A and B are shown apart, each in its own frame.
Chain A
Amino acid sequence: MRIRTTREQRILYFKTTFRWVLYYFLIFFSFIIMTSGTWLKPIFLVPIALAIAIDNNQYGSVFTGAMCGFLIDISCGKLFGYNAVILAFFCIVVSLLFELYLRHKFINFMIISAAVSYIQCRLDYKFYYEIWNYENVERIFTRYTLRVWIYTVISSVFIYLIIKLINHFLMPRAHLTIEEAITTKTQQNQ
């Protein structure tokens, strides 16, 4: 990697800060939507946490996962910390998976997002409805849980694009572009 100048370093700090501000603005906005109205809504915060986790380190991912989890707990009226534990765990796993084994592809994100949101919805159904053995409880799964899961998967597409857009402009690139490599080489020769 090329050594950065002080100016470049400052720009990097600014971009990183601005990127995280945008992430958290998106999280806040999603939380507000989730707490409004009476219709069924996707759990936006699950794909958001995962999309952030795939491009960031484990510390940032786990904190964001926990934060999104806490907000889900508040908006969905669940035990405070319950979804935070689930999402923090999955954010670590997803961050590691994309760091070590998976490529940053849209399809990979969609599979992971669908799987994690299904697990989140299924656990929610299990612990909040099925375990209490309500009469006709399976209707909650078909009429609420599955629909919320499908909405969440559909919303993942847009969330992925938004996070990608933010990262495209504000994420420091890990590798030099050809132009940068040529410029660097020229500078070294001089």
Chain B
Amino acid sequence: MREFLKSTRFKILLAFLAFLVGIMIYAVTKGGYSVSGASFINTVTKPFRIVSNKISMTIEHKLDLFSNSDDYYEENKKLKEQIGQLNKQLTEYDALKTEVEELRKFVSIKEEHEDYELSVPCDVLGYVANDPFMSFTIDKGSADGIKPNCPVVTAEGLIGITIEVSEHVSTVRTILSPDLSIASVCSSSNADYGIIEGSVLTAENGNTKLIHLRLDNKLKVGDLMITTGTSGLFPKDYSIGTIKSIDYDTSGLSMCAEVEPCIDIDRLTSVIVITDFSGKKEDQ
């Protein structure tokens, strides 16, 4: 061993380790952009990951059907009841829609979210291995105009934010993560403010958490929470999720709520990145 420690071989190995530490430090300073090595590997392995992920998701889906058949049966019964109710609502909705369309002729309304600049639809390459907060990678990167800290959405609601961007692949941190805080407000009352921030417990059920609610809030189960847009990181009035349960915070000084995202984050296949919107702050 002593001979090894004095040998040139040892010095070369030590220099290599120092080189690796250097790469790691360099990666820290990149501010969200991948280093070229990671970018190269991501680009080369992208087609294989797409194919493999599709196979894997299919297998998981089939196994899931077998293992949870009882749950699905119960869910199916509930859904049939819901469909009946929804059909009734749909009849009412159609009548209202006709009325609204008539009213629209008299009101000049700007198309919703006209200020948004959207990326092309991005396919989900795969979820980050063993991540409790369901971060995932998408098949678009800086070459498609995506930057770190861009909101990631679907038509149903907000999903998260890009955190690391290489040329053709980006990593997305979801709203299940405790590392992402979003100022939100109840869409119906427009008065009950809070912070959407993931937690370990709620992430286990695929939900996120609403914290710092006032004790005298008027929130109720089923209320939709939307973004306030005050941080400049997310556009205003974008759906996040619905209130599932409300409880006191551990301190007892405020209240918190479990929020069910508008979309199942663990079953995403494609998303859209908002690359720009009015009120966006660049230096986030």
In the complex with contacts A37-B57, A37-B60, A135-B200, A144-B130 CB distance below 8 A: yes
Contact B24 A77 (CB under 8 A): no
Contact A80 B129 (CB under 8 A): no
Residue A148 lies at the interface, judged by CB distance under 8 Å to chain B: yes
In the complex with contacts A89-B17, A137-B200, A84-B24 CB distance below 8 A: yes
Contact A85 B24 (CB under 8 A): yes
Contact B134 A38 (CB under 8 A): yes
Main secondary structure of the interface of A (DSSP, over half): helix
Contact A134 B200 (CB under 8 A): yes
Give the distance to chain B from A27, nearest Cβ to Cβ, in Å: 11
Residue B221 lies at the interface, judged by CB distance under 8 Å to chain A: no
Chain B residues, Cβ within 8 Å of A139: 200-201, 204
Contact A84 B20 (CB under 8 A): yes
Residue B156 lies at the interface, judged by CB distance under 8 Å to chain A: no
**Chain A 52-78 interface 0/1 with B at a Cβ cutoff of 8 Å (1 = within):** 000000110011001001110111110
Residue A132 lies at the interface, judged by CB distance under 8 Å to chain B: yes
Chain A interface category by residue count: 35 or more
Residue A115 lies at the interface, judged by CB distance under 8 Å to chain B: no
**Chain A 89-132 interface 0/1 with B at a Cβ cutoff of 8 Å (1 = within):** 10010001000100000000000000000000000000000001
Chain A residues, Cβ within 8 Å of B130: 40-41, 43, 76, 144, 148
Contact B201 A75 (CB under 8 A): no
Within 20-63 of B, Cβ neighbours of A (below 8 Å) are at 20-21, 23-28, 34-35, 37-38, 41-42, 45, 48-49, 52-53, 55-57, 59-60
The answer for the CA separation of A92 and B57 in the assembled complex, in Å, is 37
Query: Which of A41, A66, A77 lies at the interface centre, i.e. has the most chain B CB atoms within 10 A of its CB?
Result: A77
Residue B171 lies at the interface, judged by CB distance under 8 Å to chain A: yes
Residue A153 lies at the interface, judged by CB distance under 8 Å to chain B: no
Chain A residues, Cβ within 8 Å of B116: none
Chain A residues, Cβ within 8 Å of B186: none
Residue A11 lies at the interface, judged by CB distance under 8 Å to chain B: no
Binds B, one of A16-24, A28-36, A175-183: A28-36
Cβ-closest 7 pairs across A and B: A81-B24, A37-B56, A36-B56, A77-B128, A80-B27, A81-B23, A136-B200
Please give the residue numbers on chain A whose beta carbons come within 8 Å of chain B beta carbons, in ascending order. 28, 31-41, 43, 58-59, 62-63, 66, 69-71, 73-77, 79-82, 84-85, 88-89, 92, 96, 100, 132, 134-137, 139-140, 143-144, 148
Give 21 A-B contacts (CB < 8 Å), ordered by A residue.
A32-B45, A35-B125, A37-B126, A38-B60, A41-B129, A58-B9, A59-B12, A59-B13, A62-B13, A62-B17, A76-B130, A80-B23, A80-B37, A81-B25, A84-B20, A84-B24, A85-B20, A136-B200, A136-B201, A139-B204, A143-B132
Please give the residue numbers on chain B whose beta carbons come within 8 Å of chain A beta carbons, in ascending order. 1, 4, 9, 12-13, 16-17, 20-21, 23-28, 34-35, 37-38, 41-42, 45, 48-49, 52-53, 55-57, 59-60, 125-132, 134-135, 137, 164, 171, 178-179, 199-201, 204, 250, 266
Contacts beyond the supplied A35-B126, A79-B24: 9 A-B pairs with Cβ under 8 Å: A32-B52, A35-B52, A35-B53, A69-B20, A77-B131, A81-B25, A134-B200, A136-B200, A139-B204
